[in-house]
Amino acid sequence: MFVYIMIVAIFFALYFIVPQKHSAIPCVLFVLAMAVMSYFVQPGETDDLARYFYIISQIEKAGYEGFRQMLESNYFDFGSFPVCGYYFYFISILKNPHFLPFFTILICYGCIILVIQKASVKFKVDKFYTMLALIFAISTYWYYDVCSGTRNGIAFTVTVACAYYHLVERKNIPLCIIGYVLACGMHSSGIVLVGLVAIAWLSCNFGSRIVNAALILSLAGGSALLGIFGGMAKSDFMQSLLGKTENALDNLGITTQTNYFVNIATFAVCAIIMFYCLPYIKKYVTDINQRRFFRFSEVLMCFMLGTLLTSLLFLRLARWVLPIVAAVVYMVGMQLQKSRLDAGLIDISYDSKSPGMEKIRAMNKGIFSFFVFVYSVIHFVYDITGSSLIWLNLGI
């Protein structure tokens, strides 16, 4: 726990000191430090990571031919999700299962930092807002859950990174398509997120309020039905998607656990961020592909409404997708507001002719950013006192 706190503290201290043009340096060091720390994790007997270590040891003993038999027999869903199988096989070649959390954290945190840093450059975001976005994303992203859970975290963060590059940067699109496919082959939840990206891409040009309302109801209702009827299904795919086959501890009284309410709070805070920042993005971001990425944030929130009480899919999205997406929406929206204020396009004086809601938002920008910062601090305190981080045991 102390090592985790020190890594985060040193990262933000360095990020604050280093000029923005060199901010990639502390970011790279941070990702490497988090990955190295995960290498020394000693999982508890009931952790998913302990089970994964056992599976990797079995693959190592069986060799490639034995692994092929595992794929054919759908052992640990390897047949349904072969990317996950080959990922585990790759780790087994390294002869040390501790490389599993190392590469998992390297991939996941690398994607988080990459998306935020790239968005900062693309939209010319001030260092202040970029740093607040990083604070929010890192404090609300569940480190040990992704370290132990592996599959969901990789599927989600890779999908978000591919969506950002595909829609905003418009670079390496063939690699992004490959990334989508790999995410779908890692875990069933990746298929859901890729589907939401597709819906965002297709629905971005819909300006009608009636169409948007129908989309909201369809997403929320569809995700609710997915949880209700999916729970009755005997399909391995549906059980994997809804989390019924995950660690038994995850299924004990989910609606009464503290961490469930913490994720509800994060969802509410992200909804406030969307309400405050998206009007600027919708009005002043003119590139259709960039707008599609931010449309994805709306689609995600609507879909999550229907999963609030029905499945672990909500918790997964709240822990591993919302922190990244909301952080980008916050930093871009706040920068657009700042640019308009600096250019004198928003007048916050009482008798000004600036649009009412835009003026109200501008008058409360300091309070809003302080609110985001305070929630980030509160969540970080919860991380180190009540979240799964309390099970973080380093063998050093």
pLDDT for 238 equals: 53
Neighbours of 123 (CB within 10 A): 20
pLDDT digits (tens, 9 = 90+) for 54-88: 999 999 999 999 999 999 998 888 988 999 999 99
Would you say residue 255 has pLDDT above 50? Answer: no
User: Which of 80-89, 202-211, 294-303 shows the lowest per-residue confidence on average (mean pLDDT)?
Assistant: 202-211
Non-local CB neighbours of 391 within 8 Å, separated by 6+ positions: 44, 47, 144
Q: Is residue 357 in a domain?
A: yes
- Is residue 153 a part of any domain in this protein? yes
The reply to whether 386 falls in a domain is yes
Backbone angles phi, psi at 180, to 5 degrees: -60, -45
Does a structural domain hold residue 36? no
In the structure, what pLDDT confidence band is assigned to residue 218 with cuts at 50, 70 and 90?
Answer: low
Q: Say if 296 falls within a structural domain.
A: yes
Q: Do 301 and 325 touch, CB atoms closer than 8 A? A: no
Q: Which domain holds residue 343?
A: 98-391
- Is residue 306 assigned to a domain? yes
Question: What's the mean per-residue pLDDT of the chain?
Answer: 87
- Three-state DSSP class for residue 394: strand
d(CA 45, CA 346): 58
Quote the number of domains for the chain. Answer: 1
**236 lies in a domain?**
yes
More confident of the two residues 311 and 120: 120
| Per-residue confidence band for 240, with pLDDT thresholds at 50, 70 and 90 | low
The pLDDT-based confidence of 213 (bands split at 50, 70, 90) is low
Would you say residue 51 lies in a domain?
no
* 314-337 tens-digit pLDDT: 888 898 999 999 999 999 999 999
